[in-house]
Amino acid sequence: MEDRALIQLITRRIVERIEDEPPCSGCALRSCRADLRACDAAIRQEKIPIGVSARHVHVTQKDLEALYGQGYELSIHAPLYQPDAFAAKETLTVVGRRMRSIEGVRILGPVREYSQVELAQTDAIRLGLHPPIRDSGDLEDSEPISLIGPAGSVFLKEGAICATRHIHMNPETASSLSVHSTSRLKVRVPGERALILENIRPKISSSYVLQMHLDTDDSNAAGLRGGEAVELLQD
């Protein structure tokens, strides 16, 4: 085989391998190639990358089976930036007060020990709800909401929240930034719609990689699509 033909063959196979890699779909408004993730570039700049979270649902295995059928397992639509987390192919209709609903709300996997719906405030208004701003899993006195799947429905007496602004990080990163679980953080968002975001909670675990999560209301206010680099401000 001539050198030029060999180079073309190798190039084609590399491109095919890249195209076969699943993209990171950790943001509501963008996806990244597996080999060219915007959040990785932000971390190389020693900044905090932004992940934009659209409305989504977490479910227990029991509730998943009530919604999709006995023995059902989630299937992966696309991986998220956090290790082992993924956007599932499965979606639900969520129903608030006075039968107001939003269709096609994606489940995020894997299954959890609790079921909840995370909404932006604009989603909540559409559903006629007034959910509290909470950490994931803190569901006491949260808003009731119904989930409808192809095989059945589930009513959550306490289940709808607006997620707190938060930053995922591992213990080593937290230590290097002098951040503790009780810290409340502040970041500066650059750009045309620059602003400072406060009351951000750290989520520290050895399974996490550095990324700040905002809902679509906060991200739209700051003109963010996901993957942007923001600066942690020290008091």
pLDDT by residue (tens digit) across 172-207?
999 999 999 999 999 999 999 999 999 999 999 999
Work out whether strand 211-215 and strand 166-169 pair parallel, antiparallel, or are unpaired: antiparallel
Residue 85 has pLDDT above 90, yes or no: yes
What pLDDT was estimated at residue 21? Answer: 46
Name the token pair of 105.
């709300």
Residues 6+ positions from 139 with CB-CB distance below 8 Å: 114, 116, 158, 159, 161
Q: Cβ atoms within 10 A of the Cβ of 29, count?
A: 13
What does pTM read for this prediction?
A: 0.86
Residue 15 has pLDDT above 70, yes or no: no
The mean of the pLDDT values for the chain is 90
pLDDT band at residue 11 under the 50/70/90 scheme: very low
Domains of the chain: 22-52+165-233 (2.40.40), 55-163 (no CATH)
Residue 35 has pLDDT above 50, yes or no: yes
Residue 17 has pLDDT above 90, yes or no: no
Cβ–Cβ under 8 Å, residues 58 and 107: yes
pLDDT band at residue 211 under the 50/70/90 scheme: very high
pLDDT band at residue 151 under the 50/70/90 scheme: very high
Residue 37 has pLDDT above 90, yes or no: no
| Averaged pLDDT for residues 39-68 | 95
In the three-class reduction of DSSP (H, G, I as helix; E, B as strand; rest coil), residue 53 is classed as: strand
CA gap 131, 120 in Å, rounded:
9
Q: Which residue, chain included where needed, has tokens 């591992």?
A: 170
Residues 6+ positions from 231 with CB-CB distance below 8 Å: 47, 48, 187, 188, 190
